[in-house]
Chains A and B, each alone.
Chain A
Amino acid sequence: MSALLARYAECIFWMARYMERAENLARILDVHETFARDTRGSKDWTAIVQLNADTARFKELYPSATAENVTNFYILDGQNPTSIISAVGYARENARQLRPLISTEMWTQLNVFHNWLHTLGPTDIALHNLPRLCGKLKEACQTHTGITEGTFYRDQGWYFYQLGKYLERADQTTRLLDIKYHTLLPSTADVGSPIDISQWSALLRSAAAYHAFRRVHPRGMTPASVAGFLLFNDSFPRSVVVCTRQVDQLLTRLKSKYRLRRGSIAMECVDEIQAALDAHGIEQVIAQGLHEYLDWLQLRFAEVSGHIAVAYFGLDQTAAA
């Protein structure tokens, strides 16, 4: 079994994370209109800025949270490390170092995607063009996923790719939910009102979860049922439960199939997350504070990521073999 260079594992993990991040961001911006509308129907773009705790950085770069500023900040602004252009740029830099490992088609698509992003200007991100642009962005990310699935050699590298993808996706789903819950924290009067429902349905759509949700909940839509679906549904590919289960399986396979000995702390940490996800229903979570729960999950995912880095990415390998 050929060894995998620790740095390659790190690059591939992050390439997957950045591409997943770019896709999620495009999803959120895609449904921005509904998303940004507050209870009085006016546009409030600050909601999106809170997504990655970007408020401070945004305020440094832009005078106000207008549609133009926020879309620019999140799509084209290379100064914003959480923008799509930055994420794809980082993914490409990682891919560049991974050229000996990944397929030429993976590299070419990413390279073309990256070069295309750099040709975009204010007109492309103007409000009336935004749905079209977000569609293209999503499609480019999904093309990446598809090419990877169809061409990437299935050895250790593949497992690290999947690890990065599912960890990022789990994290993104909690953020999506958190920001929604955070900003839409329903006042008693608003709960169940039409505007509230349209926003929860937008939330589902941004995660491509609307139809899946309807299959499970043909009637009705409550904040609790939506949050419960995105957290605990065991068949939806973006739910936190499914992503966490994937991470668990991937770490187990790395140990059993490739005899990687160092992942036990990361695995313990994943066990802890899974136990927590199993322990409570959504009502109980909401009662105890959804935001605190999501916060806890995000911290745990960051911890898993950190343990993976220590275990596999060659950070402490100065001692003898």
Chain B
Amino acid sequence: MDSLGSGVGMLLAAYDQNGFYDELFGSRDIPATHTEAIRRRLAALDFADLRRRAQDAERELYNLGITFLVYSDAKAIDRILPFDVIPRVISAREWAQLEAGVQQRVAALNLFLWDVYHDQKIIKDGVVPADLVFGNPNYRPQMVGIDVPFGTYIHIMGVDLVRDDAGVFRVLEDNGRVPSGVSYVVENRHMMLRAFPDLMSDVDIRPVENYGVKLLEAMCEIAPGNVKEPQVVLLSPGPYNSAYFEHIFLAREMGVPLVEGRDLVVVDDKVFMKTTNGLSRVDSIYRRVGDDFLDPLAFNPESALGVPGIFESYRKGNVALANAIGTGVADDKAVYAYVPRMIKYYLDQDPIIPNVETHICREAEGLKYTLDNLDKLVVKPVGEAGGYGITIGPRASAAELEVCRQKLLADPANYISQPMVPLSVCPTLVEGTIEPRHVDLRPFAITAKDTWVLPGGLSRVALKRGTLIVNSSQGGGSKDTWVLASDPPGGD
């Protein structure tokens, strides 16, 4: 370690990954050879300098308004997503596999959705239980028989991955409705390029800034008819949505209007936006509004965010929507357990990225196992997002476990359970030192005819020592995620 400089070198020398797989160091059995050069450069930085640059970066995020709203005690607070400056690095070899795995998963889920809204073969063949689909609150009978371009329902997909102590990536969750977070991937990279040009020079990192271009291409590809230059818009619930910054970001990157429901109107089953010169036709909508709020005539009649009549326009093929309506039936936490079987059923392949072992409490066997091993399992309600309602068995008190048990018994179908995955860690700058913190990874995939996966994705980091919940709404932060264009020679 004599090549290490003072300060951070000492801190990295004292760094202890506590037996977890480490994204920068690997593990005793599988050392991360691809990060060697980056580690050396990191070590050469002075700790005070690292700290100062990190503070500059956070101030810049705040000044740029790269913030999300947190609702607490009925007050909306504008907060930045804390940004950790120590990057997470994925080798070219690992990425090739992740990319193929994400593409495979998206393909299977789209085939599943087509099937669900057409022939329902997978149900008739007994692979996926019928009531899991038809009893799912996100199943939309209105979608039955509607043909979507290229058979694609999930145009924008976020797959939550975790890496266990053996260094194996596993799928924790699918996000096929309105996945968010991609703006941070691009902004984090901007931030790193500005704050750490010295760290990044000569490292061949796959770029991420073309996400908006790829998204616009897909939105044009799915636009109906033979419109030469389709009018694409991004439909947002508005400034009070917690992901509003991302809506702004994506509209800017695509160069399209960021509209709200009140900006759109349906006339003769065609969608128009209100402009300074009257109504103007809209062809393709990237909607960041949930199914329920899309069209008060077709779905939730209480919704003020939506556009009355937009579903009828969509049904008639006059406008494209991404994601399609009704995708929630495929990214449900209960349906998730069946995805490996879907991959086998539709593609006749084994999953490239395995699931985390999952027990389905709606099944007697799964419920019994869960109740018997409550203190070892993570119990998740299937309908919630954002880390809410989760009970982490090994961390829960006896009273909390009892509450969980009662909930399970009262409504077993609402829960799944999984073993506690020893999430990989990554060196993270915390108060005065560098310590391991748990991370996950959410790659993003865009699909029209084909699937393109953004190299890397959002690495979320649980900033509180020991915590496993990385969600931004629960105090998590994020890191820049580097995918190496090629691995250094000599690595495994």
Contacts and interface: CB of A to CB of B under 8 A. Distances in A.
Interface of A: 3-9, 93, 96-97, 99-100, 104, 107-108, 111-112, 115, 156, 160, 254, 258-262, 312-314, 317-318, 320-321
Given A93-B239, A100-B251, A5 B277 contact: no
Contacts of A6: 263, 274-276
Interface in B248-271: 248, 251-252, 255-260, 262-263, 265, 267-268
A8 B257 contact: yes
A203 to B, nearest CB: 37
B258 A100 contact: yes
Contacts of B211: none
Contact of B62 (A3, A100, A115, A318): A115
B279 interface: yes
Contacts of A312: 276
Given A6-B274, A6-B275, A100-B258, A314 B263 contact: yes
B273 interface: yes
Contacts of A260: 276-277
A5 B274 contact: yes
B64 A97 contact: no
Contact of B248 (A93, A100, A112, A320): A100
B201 interface: no
Contacts of A160: 276
B20 interface: no
Given A7-B262, A96-B239, A100-B251, A320 B279 contact: yes
B65 interface: yes
A103 to B, nearest CB: 10
Interface string B264-293: 010110001111111111000000000000
A313 to B, nearest CB: 8
B18 interface: no
B63 interface: yes
A156 B258 contact: no
A320 B251 CA distance: 26
B276 A156 contact: yes
A95 to B, nearest CB: 9
Contacts of A320: 267-268, 279
B239 A258 contact: no
B267 A111 contact: no
A108 B275 contact: no
B274 to A, nearest CB: 3
B65 A4 contact: no
A321 B278 contact: yes
Contact of A99 (B252, B259, B260): B252
Interface string B6-48: 0000000000000000000000000000000000000000000
Contacts of A258: 276-277
Contacts of B277: 3-4, 258-262
B11 to A, nearest CB: 32
Nearest to B60: A108
Closest 9 CB pairs of A and B: A314-B274, A321-B279, A99-B248, A3-B275, A100-B251, A6-B274, A312-B276, A317-B274, A3-B280
Nearest to A254: B276
Given A100-B251, A314-B263, 20 more contacts: A3-B275, A3-B277, A5-B259, A7-B259, A7-B260, A7-B274, A8-B257, A99-B251, A100-B252, A100-B256, A100-B257, A104-B64, A111-B65, A160-B276, A258-B277, A260-B276, A262-B276, A317-B278, A321-B267, A321-B281
A267 to B, nearest CB: 15
A4 B251 CA distance: 14
Contacts, number: 89
B276 A111 contact: no
Contacts of A108: 63-65
A319 to B, nearest CB: 8
Nearest to B274: A314
Contacts of A259: 277
Contacts of A100: 248, 251-252, 255-258
Contacts of A5: 257, 259, 263, 273-276
Contacts of B252: 99-100
B280 to A, nearest CB: 5
9 contacts: A5-B259, A5-B263, A7-B259, A96-B239, A115-B63, A261-B278, A314-B263, A317-B274, A321-B279
A321 B276 contact: no
Interface string B323-364: 000000000000000000000000000000000000000000
Contacts of B239: 93, 96-97
Nearest to B263: A7
B276 to A, nearest CB: 4
B80 to A, nearest CB: 12
Nearest to B251: A100
A321 B264 CA distance: 12
Nearest to A10: B276
Nearest to B254: A100
A6 to B, nearest CB: 4
A156 B278 CA distance: 14
Contacts of A317: 265, 274, 278-279
Contacts of B274: 5-7, 314, 317
A314 B262 CA distance: 10
Contacts of B281: 321
A300 to B, nearest CB: 22
Nearest to B244: A96
A5 B265 CA distance: 13
Contact of A321 (B64, B255, B258, B280): B280
B213 to A, nearest CB: 16
A141 to B, nearest CB: 18
- A104, A254, A317: residue with the most chain B Cβ atoms closer than 10 Å: A317
A115 B278 CA distance: 37
Nearest to A318: B265
Nearest to B259: A5
B198 to A, nearest CB: 25
Nearest to A263: B276
Contacts of B260: 7
A160 B276 CA distance: 10
B275 A314 contact: yes
